Amino acid sequence: MTEEVKTYHAEVARDGRFWLIRVREIDRSTQALRYKDVVTMASELIEIMDGAKDEEYDLHLEVQCCSLLGFTTRSG
């Protein structure tokens, strides 16, 4: 029997000097100083807030690139 792995989605955007990371499934946020730390920070947030272990979940990053290029998007 195969156990289903939970998937978390982290929305990542540059916010001044930091990378803002919001994990939708737990409705919590954190930040990283460097992009290379985004996965670590998101994983630590998930593990602390949800009690999941690293091998028990998948993490998908959704990086908002437009803010990096100085563009803004509008909906509606």
Q: What is the pLDDT of residues 21-40, one digit of tens each?
A: 999 999 999 999 999 999 99
Instruction: State percent of the chain over pLDDT 90.
Output: 70
- Which residue in this structure is represented by tokens 């156990």? 3
Pick the more confident residue, 70 or 58: 58
pTM of the model: 0.80
Q: How far apart are the first and last CA of the chain?
A: 46
H-run or E-run covering 44: helix 38-50
